[in-house]
Structure 1
Amino acid sequence: MSRFRHFAAIDWSGAVGARQRGIAVALCSAGAHAPTLIVPEGGWSRTRALDWLRKEMPADTLVGLDLGPSLPFVDRGAFFPGWSETPPDARALWALIERICAHDPHLAASSFVDHPEAAHHFRRHGNRKGKYFEGRGRLRVTEEAQRLQGLNPYSNLNLVGAAQVGKSSLTGMRVLHRLSGTLPIWPFDESRAGSLVVEIYTSVAALAAGRRKGRTKIKSIAELNTALATLGSATVAGDGVIDDHSSDAIVSAAWLRVAADRPELWQPPALTAQLARTEGWTFGVT
């Protein structure tokens, strides 16, 4: 039986502004009840989501964040080769981003994106490729494993395009930094009791729910209920359309509930002690 009594999924956003329409939070308890969306008055902001994680999330919750908690390290032995301040591990990376972005409002990461040293490694708007950015961008080991599973991960160093996840990841690292000492984060922390944060890739949940590769986004209640039923979950009421941020969160919460008891997902063969300190791992990728 899972140690967790609740399961939550958060679809994240790196968008500029005080409120982010791309943030969606879904929560379910153990059993088969359908996940429910949590919608605060005024909508979600990154700060509001952080407050929910720290103060309002139920006890013993496995919570998945749809963002990259780190950047590629192993391929070149550093996050930012050639920069004297390149951090030695993920927690130091989070602290560096937080320090450089201390005056960016709404937990944004614009100052880090435009930092003269960090920018050498990013692909930014205006077709501005840093001198160290090559091809589609470097990938973490877990993202290479995602490719082997037939997924199409984007480099967290790519900050351009509708499918990019770099900005979400950088803003998310500010959140992870502020969670230090409050919530353990897998695999960077060891934890045997209480709540736990993991990185998720919502397409992994969608595939487990019966969606096809390349068609993982769900935009109708009918499709959502089919996916939930595949995961052994009760369905949601209503019909019509649903935005894919909400459906991603709902399906991912239901998937976490059934995935949490699979020991192989907690011990992927490629997850070394070095990766657990530096790059992290996507829960559900083997």
Structure 2
Amino acid sequence: MRRFTRFACIDWSGARGERLPGIAVAECHADAGPPRLAGPPGSWSRQTVLDWLVDRADESADMLIGFDFSASFPFADRGAFFPGWDRSPADARALWALVDGICEDEPHLGANGFVDHEDAARHFRRHRGREGVDFGGGAGRMRLVETRTQARPASCFNLVGAKQVGKSSLTGMRLRHRLAGRIPVWPFDPLPEKGPLIVEIYTSIAAVAAGRPPGRTKMRDATSIAQALAALGSAPPPAPEHHDDHSADALVTAAWLRTAAGQPHLWHPAPPFSPAITATEGWTFGVA
């Protein structure tokens, strides 16, 4: 099984604007040394994250990189991402291209133009009570991996509320398309023998593995972060470190990736994980 010497977690954001406080990047090495933030909070934009990833590709970094957004939308439940739309893509890579193409003139890798698109909007729940006729009602449509996790994720088609992940997922799709295959993405690509690899993660899975109770996974103080890292066999980052929930998520999840990457069953989930699901919906690393 592939062994990595470096690990990183990117806590992502779908918010409007350029420099976003919701983006945090943390790194750690394969030893038990502490994870550290890469750059001060508020210094990252989606474009600078893309540039950082390109640098990791250029140096062939031996790094496993976790991204906290959904790589794709539900497909298996209705046999399409956007049933009834003649531009509905056949697989996840085509979905990334569609989102980026519709939003190509929007700055900062934003994706508001996609959810406002006449045909796409039918599938989203948006603010001010605007629920598309094809949203599906209730909690909304879910990917198969989302029905398997205890983390209670929100539907990617839901754009309302604190738990919504749709906006970050759409902006992340633009980033993945613009990477143009320079870094493989699991499980859409096989594990490379060398160089960086990207996986989708839920930071709440890492927090629960670090001893946080489900539903109370957010950490905002040095003591809580140190306790979570200790549970993962890691020393805490040296003070001073900025402690908001985004930087905490990045620090703890980077340390969790270091422990989880050596667990073979996480790379080979049980059914319904399959080649067809891999090509369309993808999977979240850590959901067995």
For 1:25, what is the secondary structure of its paired residue? Answer: strand
Count of residues in correspondence between the two structures: 283
Give the corresponding residue for 1:8.
Answer: 8
Shift of 1:192: 2.8
- AA matched with 2:155: S
Deviation string 1:204-227 (CA, Å, 9 cap, x unpaired) is: 000110111111111110010011
Deviation string 1:123-172 (CA, Å, 9 cap, x unpaired) is: 011110000112111000000001xxx32110000011121110000000
1:145 aligns with 2:148: yes
Give distance in 1, aligned partners of 2:130 and 2:196.
Answer: 40
- Kept in 1: contact 2:21–2:42 (CA 8 A): no
Give the corresponding residue for 2:187.
Answer: 187
For 2:26, what is the secondary structure of its paired residue? Answer: strand
- AA matched with 2:174: R
1:265 aligns with 2:277: no
Shift of 1:191: 2.4
Unaligned runs of 5+ in 2: none
Give distance in 2, aligned partners of 1:218 and 1:126.
Answer: 30
Unaligned runs of 5+ in 1: none
- Kept in 1: contact 2:185–2:199 (CA 8 A): yes
TM-score by length of 1: 0.96
Give the corresponding residue for 1:74.
Answer: 76
- AA matched with 1:112: F
- Kept in 2: contact 1:221–1:239 (CA 8 A): no
1:91 aligns with 2:88: no
Give distance in 2, aligned partners of 1:16 and 1:165.
Answer: 14
Shift of 1:19: 1.2
Give distance in 2, aligned partners of 1:100 and 1:264.
Answer: 38
Shift of 1:42: 6.9
Give the corresponding residue for 2:159.
Answer: 159
Give distance in 2, aligned partners of 1:138 and 1:156.
Answer: 8
TM-score by length of 2: 0.95
- Kept in 2: contact 1:222–1:239 (CA 8 A): no
Structure 1 residues 274 and 226 mapped into 2: Cα distance closer, same or farther (>3 Å)? same
Give the corresponding residue for 2:34.
Answer: 34
Give distance in 1, aligned partners of 2:229 and 2:129.
Answer: 40
Give distance in 1, aligned partners of 2:240 and 2:215.
Answer: 24
Range with greater deviation from structure 2 (155-164 or 34-43): 34-43
Shift of 1:179: 1.6
Give the corresponding residue for 1:47.
Answer: 47
- AA matched with 2:230: A
Give the corresponding residue for 1:25.
Answer: 25
- Kept in 2: contact 1:209–1:227 (CA 8 A): yes
Give distance in 2, aligned partners of 1:41 and 1:285.
Answer: 29
- Kept in 1: contact 2:21–2:41 (CA 8 A): no
Give distance in 1, aligned partners of 2:33 and 2:196.
Answer: 20
Shift of 1:41: 9.4
Shift of 1:235: 1.6
- Paired-residue identity, %: 57
Range with greater deviation from structure 2 (52-61 or 76-85): 52-61
Deviation string 1:51-80 (CA, Å, 9 cap, x unpaired) is: 001114761100000000000000000000
Range with greater deviation from structure 2 (41-50 or 158-167): 41-50
Give the corresponding residue for 1:196.
Answer: 197
Shift of 1:93: 0.2
- Kept in 2: contact 1:9–1:64 (CA 8 A): yes
Shift of 1:276: 0.6
Alpha-carbon RMSD across the aligned residues, in angstroms, is 1.6
- Kept in 1: contact 2:41–2:247 (CA 8 A): no
- Kept in 1: contact 2:35–2:255 (CA 8 A): yes
- Kept in 1: contact 2:24–2:41 (CA 8 A): no
Moved beyond 4 Å, runs of 4+: none
Shift of 1:240: 9.2
Give the corresponding residue for 1:132.
Answer: 134
1:226 aligns with 2:227: yes
- AA matched with 2:134: Y
